[in-house]
Amino acid sequence: MSRAKLSFPSVEWFNAVRKEFNTDEEFHRRGAGHCNCVAGVKVGDDVFVLTFEGQECTSVEQSGELALADADFYMSMDAVDWQEMLANISKHGHAVGDYTLNTLDLNRFDGLATSVHGDQFREDMFFRFNQTLQFFFDASSRIDTRFG
Amino acid sequence: MVVLDSPRLWNRLQRKLAKKVKKKTEESTSTHVKQLKNFEAKKEEIEIPEPRLNWMGITREWGVKVLPGEKGLTLGSLNVGVYGEIPTTWSDRGRNPRGAIASGARLPLAISVQDKADLWANSAATLYEEAIQRRWIPATDIPWDQLAPLPDDIEHAICQVCTELMQYANTDIEVITNWQHKMAYGYHEVKQYLATASFDGARRYEAFRKRALSNGGGLGLESTCQVNRVLLESTGGWTETVATWVFNRLLFALTICRYLERFAYNEAEIKLYQYVGQDLARILSYGIDHLHYAMNADPEKRASVGISITIGDAFLVRDLRDPVLKEALSIIFGAGINGVNKDGLDTFYEMLDTYVKEYLELCAWLKLDRKLEQMPTIFQADKRKR
């Protein structure tokens, strides 16, 4: 686990998760090999764009709302809901129960994943790459996270 | 019959046999030696033709050297020069790989899907690579040791749903294989992707069978599933088959798996439904991409696609009238028979609403004129009879 507490959401936090995710072979096996997509993460009003290429998450950028138009899909929740999800992951080492990405998407009235463009082929990537995305957030269990 | 009970007689026979063998060997060797000597003597007179190798120069494009990119040497990256020319019609009814030179003398194959608009999806090569690279192994990638005994009603319900999903998987395999040999070889990206999709179907069948037979239960009732029949008997066109497959099977099956993951009873089931969900989403992607391509290339297809979905809807409604799947899923969602009327049935209908929402979003994006009020009443929350 990283020693310094990293604040969520921040580029530093995502980069720390990215490092854990990219370097652990366990996250790239079992139905989670190559993944090529651009995924947005919206935490309240904060927007981050994650690029996945091959076996890695190659970049994380903090952007404005407009950047979401270029993402294949984006995952959006209030900060407190992200916090609950990450707390669950931190407690169990991976998401369980109501906190898997799929269940969050089903349980929320507006869903978790959506897109600006409505392109159903690109939105489907949320389901096609679900394991990779889940493993990415599961990797956050190794980060000492500070909220707010 | 001679009874060999005397050692002397036995030895005599053995010696006789050995002599015979020796004589035959000497005769044979001598014949071979003679033939060899004859050949050596006449060698100068025999004319051995030089190999012509005239096939070597016949190519449409030589000197091609595709290099691996960041994602490796992918199927799509090989589409360079003449090898990347994908015609709108592939009239060759042989096994001629795209870019090779067709042989003149051969019988035509039973290829009937020869227009690009009838099968193409721009993502096919990418989906093929994805299927290869994101594979999983039911035997070892699912933590089967996490299964634990469940109440009898829940185990029965899960096994029944697995029985049904196995039939879905088997149908997926046969839908593809029914058409695979009819598709022109010029569109190999699609044929290769669909080959992986049929393998994915086999893996789904395996995985659900393993779940049903590994926790004290067993298989349940065979489904009368009408959608299976429609899919397998759909012979008019691949695009129309894909339309029913996407809207009335794949989207529905994916929604079931998503809800099963949400209400999974252990880590093994969570993983099972997550992996299967990804595989279903990949076929769905091919289907969406193909329908999008087909209807843009040939706008008249919009009508036949619409009709195929309407027919599929009618048969899905018949399937939903059969109480088995509904009851089994409601038991799983309601944590037992006692929870069916409390939460189980509500969740089942919520699942249907989720399916319908995704269905209508897909229709809107594909510019298919379809509204909720045009759909059978079971899909309309405010009109359905429970």
A117 domain residue, yes or no: yes
DSSP A35-101: --EEEEEEETTEEEEEEEETTEEEEEEEE-GGGGGGSSEEEEE-HHHHHHHHHHHHHHSS--GGGSH
Which residues of chain A does B136 touch, with a Cβ-Cβ cutoff of 8 Å? 30-31
Cβ–Cβ under 8 Å, residues A96 and A147: no
- Nearest 5°: CA angle at B194, between B90 and B192? 65
A27 CA: distance to closest CA in chain B (Å)? 11
Q: What whole-number distance in Å separates Cα of residue B225 and Cα of residue B231?
A: 10
Which tokens is B121 given?
């999806």
Please name which of B187, B198, B171, B177 lies closest in space to residue B113, comparing C-alpha atoms. B187
Query: How many residues belong to chain A?
Result: 148
A45 CA: distance to closest CA in chain B (Å)? 26
CA dihedral B184, B189, B193, B195 (to 10 degrees): 40
Q: What whole-number distance in Å separates Cα of residue B144 and Cα of residue B21?
A: 63
Q: What whole-number distance in Å separates Cα of residue B298 and Cα of residue B280?
A: 27
Judging by DSSP bridges, how do beta strands A37-43 and A73-77 pair with one another? parallel
A18-23, Cβ contacts within 8 angstroms, sequence gap of 24 or more: A18/A50, A18/A56, A18/A57, A18/A60, A18/A136, A20/A139, A20/A140, A20/A142, A20/A143, A21/A56, A21/A57, A21/A135, A21/A136, A21/A139, A22/A55, A22/A56, A22/A57
HSE toward the beta carbon, residue A139, CA cutoff 13 A: 24
Which residues of chain A does B141 touch, with a Cβ-Cβ cutoff of 8 Å? 29-31
B103 Cβ neighbours under 8 A, 6+ residues apart: B94, B96
A65 domain residue, yes or no: yes
DSSP state of B250: I
| Contact across the interface for A33 and B288, Cβ inside 8 Å | no
Q: What whole-number distance in Å separates Cα of residue B366 and Cα of residue B290?
A: 11
Q: What whole-number distance in Å separates Cα of residue B178 and Cα of residue B367?
A: 28
Percentage with pLDDT > 70 across chain A = 98
Chain A residues with CB within 8 Å of chain B CB? 29-36, 53-54, 98, 100, 102-103, 105-107, 118-121, 124-125, 127-131, 134
Which tokens is A56 given?
């890695």
The confidence score (pLDDT) of residue B24 equals: 76
- The alpha carbon dihedral of B337, B341, B342, B347 has a sign of positive
Task: Produce one character per residue of B187-208: b if its CB has 16 or more CB atoms within 10 Å, e if not.
Answer: bbbbbbbbbbbbbbbebbbebb
A128 CA: distance to closest CA in chain B (Å)? 4
A141 domain residue, yes or no: yes
Residues 183 through 242 of chain B touching chain A, CB cutoff 8 Å: none
| Contact across the interface for B262 and A130, Cβ inside 8 Å | no
Spell out the per-residue pLDDT of chain B, length 386, in tens.
445 566 677 677 777 877 887 777 777 677 777 877 777 777 767 777 888 888 888 899 999 999 998 788 999 999 999 999 999 999 999 889 999 998 877 888 999 999 999 999 999 999 999 999 999 999 999 999 999 999 999 999 999 999 999 999 999 999 999 999 999 999 999 999 999 999 999 999 999 999 999 999 999 999 888 999 999 999 889 999 999 999 999 999 999 999 999 999 999 999 999 999 999 999 999 999 999 999 999 999 999 999 999 999 999 999 999 999 999 999 999 999 999 988 999 999 999 999 999 999 999 999 999 999 989 999 998 888 77
User: With a cut of 0.90, is the ipTM above it?
Assistant: yes
Residue to test with chain A: of B70, B265, B270, most A Cβ within 10 A: B270
Q: What CATH number should be reported for the domain holding residue A80?
A: 3.30.1050.10
The confidence score (pLDDT) of residue B6 equals: 67
Mind listing the domains of chain B with CATH numbers? 116-379 (1.10.620.20)
The confidence score (pLDDT) of residue B252 equals: 97
A36 domain residue, yes or no: yes
B55 Cβ neighbours under 8 A, 6+ residues apart: none
Is residue B262 within 8 angstroms of chain A, CB to CB? yes
Which residues of chain B does A119 touch, with a Cβ-Cβ cutoff of 8 Å? 365
- pLDDT tens digit string along A20-78? 999 988 888 888 888 999 999 999 999 999 999 988 999 999 999 999 999 999 999 99
- Name the β-bridge partners of A76: A42
Which tokens is A3 given?
């020693």
DSSP state of B336: S
Q: What whole-number distance in Å separates Cα of residue B32 and Cα of residue B38?
A: 10
Which ranges constitute the DSSP H helices of chain B?
7-42, 124-133, 138-141, 152-180, 188-212, 226-233, 238-245, 251-262, 267-297, 301-321, 323-333, 345-365
Task: Produce one character per residue of B16-34: b if its CB has 16 or more CB atoms within 10 Å, e if not.
Answer: eeeeeeeeeeeeeeeeeee
Which residues of chain B does A35 touch, with a Cβ-Cβ cutoff of 8 Å? 134
A42 CA: distance to closest CA in chain B (Å)? 22
The confidence score (pLDDT) of residue A2 equals: 47
Q: What whole-number distance in Å separates Cα of residue A107 and Cα of residue A99?
A: 10
Residue B309 burial (CB count, 10 A): 24
Query: How many residues belong to chain B?
Result: 386
Range of the domain at A103: 6-146
Q: What whole-number distance in Å separates Cα of residue B83 and Cα of residue B78?
A: 7
Residue to test with chain A: of B75, B278, B290, B362, most A Cβ within 10 A: B278
A1 domain residue, yes or no: no
B385 CA: distance to closest CA in chain A (Å)? 24
The 3-class SS string of B319-334 reads: HHHCHHHHHHHHHHHC
The shortest CB-CB distance from B275 to any of A31, A33, A98 is to: A31
DSSP B107-160: PPP---B-BGGGT--TTHHHHHHHHHHT---HHHHS-GGG-----HHHHHHHHH
Q: Let me know if B261 is exposed, middle or buried by CB neighbors in 10 A (0-12, 13-18, 19+).
A: buried
In chain A, the number of structural domains is 1
The shortest CB-CB distance from B70 to any of A29, A54, A102 is to: A54
Which residues of chain A does B129 touch, with a Cβ-Cβ cutoff of 8 Å? 34
Q: Let me know if B94 is exposed, middle or buried by CB neighbors in 10 A (0-12, 13-18, 19+).
A: middle
DSSP state of A147: E
